Chain A
Amino acid sequence: MHAEIKVADASRRASFARFASMREAGLIVIILALCIAMSLASPHFLTWGNFRAMLMSFSIEGIVVVGMTILLIVGGIDLSVGSVVCFSMVVSGALFLAGLDPWTASLIGIAVSALIGAVMGFFVTVVGLNHFITSLAAMVIVRGLCLVITKGTPLSLFTLPPEFKAIGQGNLQGVPYVIIIFVVVVAIFDFLLRRATAFRKVFYTGSNEKAAQFSGIKTNQVKFWVTVLCATLSGFAGVIYMARFGAATPTFGAGMELNVIAAAVIGGASLKGGSGTIFGAILGMALLSVVTSSLILLDISVYWQDMIKGCILLAAVSADHFLHRKKS
Chain B
Amino acid sequence: MSDAPILQIRSLSKAFGPVQALSGVQFELRRGEVHALCGENGAGKSTLMNMIGGILQPDEGDILIDGKPMTIASPAAAQKMGIALVHQEIALCQDATVAENICMAAINSRRAPLMNFQQVHADAEKAMNRLAPIAVRTKVADLSISSQQLVEIAKALTLDCKVLILDEPTAALTETEAQRLFAIVRGLKQRGISVIYISHRMAEIFSLCDRVTVFRDGRYVATEAIEATSPNDVVRKMVGREITQLYPDKLPADAKPGRALLSVSGLSDGTRFTNVDLDLRTGEILGIGGLIGAGRSEIAQTICGLRPATAGSVVLDGKNLAIRSYADAVRAGLVYLSEDRKGSGVFLDLSIAANVSALDLGKLTGRFGLLDRRAEADQATSLARQLGVRMSGIDAAVSTLSGGNQQKVAIAKQLSVAPKVIIMDEPTRGIDVGAKVEIHRLLRDLANQGVGIIVISSELPELIGLCDRVAVVREGRIAGELGTGQLNEETIIMLASGVQPNAVYEGQAQNVA
Give per-residue flags for A294-328: 1 if the beta carbon is below 8 A from chain B beta carbons, else 0.
00000000000000000000000000000000001
Give per-residue flags for B367-408: 1 if the beta carbon is below 8 A from chain A beta carbons, else 0.
001110100000000000000000000000001100000000
Q: Are A204 and B325 in contact (CB under 8 A)?
A: no
Q: How many Å lie between the Cα of A197 and that of B359 in the bound state?
A: 12
User: Could you tell me the distance in whole angstroms from the C-beta of A16 to the nearest C-beta in chain B?
Assistant: 16
Q: How many Å lie between the Cα of A201 and that of B365 in the bound state?
A: 12
Residues of A within 8 A of B327 (CB): 216-218
Say if the beta carbon of B347 comes within 8 Å of chain A: yes
Known: A214-B338, A274-B349. A200 touches B326 (CB 8 A): no
User: Could you tell me the distance in whole angstroms from the C-beta of A14 to the nearest C-beta in chain B?
Assistant: 11
A272: nearest residue on chain B (CB-CB)? B349
Say if the beta carbon of B306 comes within 8 Å of chain A: yes
Partner pick for A197 among B329, B345, B370, B413, CB 8 A cutoff: B370
Q: Are B354 and A214 in contact (CB under 8 A)?
A: no
Q: Are B371 and A196 in contact (CB under 8 A)?
A: yes
A209: nearest residue on chain B (CB-CB)? B344
Known: A197-B364, A197-B371, A214-B338. A207 touches B347 (CB 8 A): yes
Say if the beta carbon of B203 comes within 8 Å of chain A: no
Partner pick for A204 among B350, B369, B399, CB 8 A cutoff: B350
Query: Interface size bucket, A side?
Result: 20 to 34
A274: nearest residue on chain B (CB-CB)? B349
Known: A196-B370, A208-B344. A216 touches B350 (CB 8 A): no
Q: Are A214 and B345 in contact (CB under 8 A)?
A: yes
Give per-residue flags for A191-234: 1 if the beta carbon is below 8 A from chain B beta carbons, else 0.
00001111011011001101111111110000000000000000
Q: Are A197 and B369 in contact (CB under 8 A)?
A: yes
Q: Are B359 and A215 in contact (CB under 8 A)?
A: yes
Q: How many Å lie between the Cα of A328 and that of B400 in the bound state?
A: 8
Residues of B within 8 A of A196 (CB): 369-371
Say if the beta carbon of A106 comes within 8 Å of chain B: no
User: Could you tell me the distance in whole angstroms from the C-beta of A111 to the nearest C-beta in chain B?
Assistant: 23
User: Could you tell me the distance in whole angstroms from the C-beta of B368 to the nearest C-beta in chain A?
Assistant: 8
| Highest count of chain A CB atoms <10 Å: which of B338, B364, B400 | B338
Known: A197-B361, A216-B325. A210 touches B343 (CB 8 A): yes
Known: A211-B346, A214-B336. A203 touches B369 (CB 8 A): no
Q: Are B361 and A208 in contact (CB under 8 A)?
A: no
Partner pick for B369 among A198, A213, A274, A328, CB 8 A cutoff: A198
Say if the beta carbon of B358 comes within 8 Å of chain A: yes
Residues of A within 8 A of B345 (CB): 211, 214
User: Could you tell me the distance in whole angstroms from the C-beta of B330 to the nearest C-beta in chain A?
Assistant: 5
Residues of B within 8 A of A207 (CB): 347-350
Q: Are A211 and B371 in contact (CB under 8 A)?
A: no
Query: Interface size bucket, B side?
Result: 20 to 34
Q: How many Å lie between the Cα of A279 and that of B326 in the bound state?
A: 34
Known: A197-B362, A204-B350, A208-B344. A213 touches B371 (CB 8 A): no
Q: How many Å lie between the Cα of A80 and that of B370 in the bound state?
A: 31
Residues of B within 8 A of A113 (CB): none
Q: Are B348 and A195 in contact (CB under 8 A)?
A: no
Say if the beta carbon of A69 comes within 8 Å of chain B: no
Residues of B within 8 A of A203 (CB): 347, 350, 354
Q: Are A208 and B347 in contact (CB under 8 A)?
A: yes
| Highest count of chain A CB atoms <10 Å: which of B330, B359, B371, B399 | B371
Partner pick for B358 among A210, A217, A328, CB 8 A cutoff: A217
Q: Are A211 and B359 in contact (CB under 8 A)?
A: no
User: Could you tell me the distance in whole angstroms from the C-beta of A56 to the nearest C-beta in chain B?
Assistant: 32
Q: Are A204 and B371 in contact (CB under 8 A)?
A: no
Give per-residue flags for A65-96: 1 if the beta carbon is below 8 A from chain B beta carbons, else 0.
00000000000000000000000000000000
Partner pick for A200 among B344, B359, B361, CB 8 A cutoff: B361
User: Could you tell me the distance in whole angstroms from the C-beta of B479 to the nearest C-beta in chain A?
Assistant: 27
Q: Are A274 and B350 in contact (CB under 8 A)?
A: yes
Residues of B within 8 A of A211 (CB): 338, 343-347, 358
User: Could you tell me the distance in whole angstroms from the C-beta of A102 to the nearest C-beta in chain B?
Assistant: 32
Say if the beta carbon of A275 comes within 8 Å of chain B: yes
B399: nearest residue on chain A (CB-CB)? A328
Partner pick for B326 among A208, A213, A274, CB 8 A cutoff: A213
Residues of B within 8 A of A216 (CB): 325-327, 329-330, 359
Q: Are A208 and B348 in contact (CB under 8 A)?
A: yes
Q: How many Å lie between the Cα of A196 and that of B364 in the bound state?
A: 11
Known: A207-B348, A207-B350, A213-B344. A200 touches B306 (CB 8 A): no
User: Could you tell me the distance in whole angstroms from the C-beta of A74 to the nearest C-beta in chain B?
Assistant: 13
A216: nearest residue on chain B (CB-CB)? B327
Q: How many Å lie between the Cα of A203 and that of B350 in the bound state?
A: 8
User: Could you tell me the distance in whole angstroms from the C-beta of A309 to the nearest C-beta in chain B?
Assistant: 28
User: Could you tell me the distance in whole angstroms from the C-beta of B411 to the nearest C-beta in chain A?
Assistant: 13
Residues of B within 8 A of A204 (CB): 347, 350, 354, 358
Q: How many Å lie between the Cα of A210 and that of B354 in the bound state?
A: 16
User: Could you tell me the distance in whole angstroms from the C-beta of A325 to the nearest C-beta in chain B?
Assistant: 13
Q: How many Å lie between the Cα of A197 and that of B399 in the bound state?
A: 23
Q: Are B325 and A200 in contact (CB under 8 A)?
A: no
Partner pick for B344 among A197, A210, A328, CB 8 A cutoff: A210
Which residues of A approach B to under 8 Å, CB–CB?
195-198, 200-201, 203-204, 207-208, 210-218, 274-275, 328
| Pairs of residues from A and B, 5 with the lowest C-beta to C-beta distance, nearest first | A210-B344, A216-B327, A215-B358, A207-B347, A197-B365
Cross-chain pairs A/B with CB under 8 angstroms, 18 sampled: A195-B370, A195-B371, A197-B369, A207-B350, A208-B346, A210-B338, A211-B344, A213-B306, A213-B344, A214-B306, A215-B358, A215-B359, A216-B329, A218-B325, A218-B327, A274-B350, A328-B399, A328-B400
List 16 additional A-B contacts (Cβ < 8 Å) besides A207-B348, A211-B343: A197-B371, A200-B361, A203-B354, A204-B347, A204-B358, A207-B350, A208-B347, A210-B338, A213-B326, A214-B336, A214-B338, A214-B345, A215-B326, A216-B327, A217-B358, A274-B350
